Amino acid sequence: MDTIQDKITRLDRDRMPVHVAMIMDGNGRWAKRQGFMRSDGHAEGVSTVHRVTKLSSDLGIKYLTLYAFSTENWNRPAEEVATLMYLIGWAIERELPELLRNNVRINLIGDIERIPEDARKRLFDARDATAHCTGLQLNMCLSYSSRWEIADSARKLARLVKEGKISPDDITEEMFADHLATAGIPDPDLLIRTGGEERISNYLLWQIAYSELYFTPVLWPDFSDEHYVDAILDFQNRERRFGKTSEQVQNEN
Ligand code: IPE
Ligand code: IPE
Ligand code: MG
């Protein structure tokens, strides 16, 4: 049996994903299985965020994008939403010293104005305090949905047209992408969803056009470093063709 260290050694350092995105799902089911409250599952999930961030940083991954709270999650029971908001603010503050030590830069993606003031302030503080960091960029998607983001990009471009700054014919894919919340960030190479559902749930729809998708039944609180390395090893066994033939891709390498 391979140990986690063996698996890390097996990683091809020349073919590491630059950007890993994750849909952190399964906290509620994890809690239910243990006979706990859903909020206990979310609290446990914070430990996985800590581990995944550390390992991404240690492996030299440049961007980690985590789906922490979707626009649709606002429709959950008020008590669960309040717990999640509290946890997000508490966790980011607690993690800040270690994020700084590991040179991790926090970036916030989503309709952050909707986050309650207390948590929002802690998020902004963490973002500002890590602005100088040059290691892993941790993108936290909060009150985020991809359709919201795409509509927002369309709105921004429409305004530029109205102001006479661009013509509709000038609009390119690159320009559209530059008005998304992820402007300047390369598209994810690998998207991991825990919790067993094989769907995208309104996440990064534009950006994942050519991402490798990895679905695992492991619930988010149980998602270990070894599970993460397994996902990267699986990614490294795939051939990314971007529409070309296998022969073309092999000749390029
Ligand atoms: C993911 O876990 C966390 C959030 C969506 C905020 P869930 O709370 O969705 O857990 P399940 O899917 O009910 O198990
Ligand atoms: C997706 O999980 C959103 C986050 C992980 C933040 P959900 O649990 O909200 O997704 P659905 O409802 O099962 O599609
Ligand atoms: Mg879920």
**pLDDT tens, residue order, the chain (253 aa):** 889 999 999 999 999 999 999 999 999 999 999 999 999 999 999 999 999 999 999 999 999 999 999 999 999 999 999 999 999 999 999 999 999 999 999 999 999 999 999 999 999 999 999 999 999 999 999 999 999 999 999 999 999 999 999 999 999 999 999 999 999 999 999 999 999 999 999 999 999 999 999 999 999 999 999 999 999 999 999 999 999 999 999 999 8
How far is ligand 1, taken at its centre, from the CA of residue 88, in Å?
14
Tell me the C-alpha distance between 14 and 44, whole Å.
Answer: 33
Say if CB 106 and CB 127 are below 8 A apart. Answer: yes
25 noted as active-site residue: yes
Identify any residues that bridge with 215 across adjacent strands, giving them in sequence order. Answer: 193
Residue 142 DSSP symbol? E
Cβ distance 195 to 26 under 8 Å? yes
Check if 236 has its Cβ closer than 6 Å to any atom of ligand 2: no
What pLDDT, on the 0 to 100 scale, is given for residue 116? 98
pLDDT at res. 199: 98
Question: Is the minimum distance from the CB of 25 to ligand 1 under 6 angstroms?
Answer: yes
Residue 140 · residue 109 · CB < 8 Å: yes
State if residue 218 touches ligand 2 by the CB under 6 angstroms criterion.
Answer: no
Residue 100 has what pLDDT? 98
Helix or strand or coil: residue 199? coil
Structure-block tokens of residue 124: 């902004």
What pLDDT is recorded for position 253? 81
Q: Side-chain half-sphere of 142: how many Cα atoms within 13 Å?
A: 22
**Token digits for 33?**
């299985």
Ligand 1 atom at minimal distance to the Cα of residue 31: 14
Those residues whose C-beta lies under 8 Å from the C-beta of residue 108, and which sit 6 or more positions away, are 123, 124, 127, 139, 140, 142
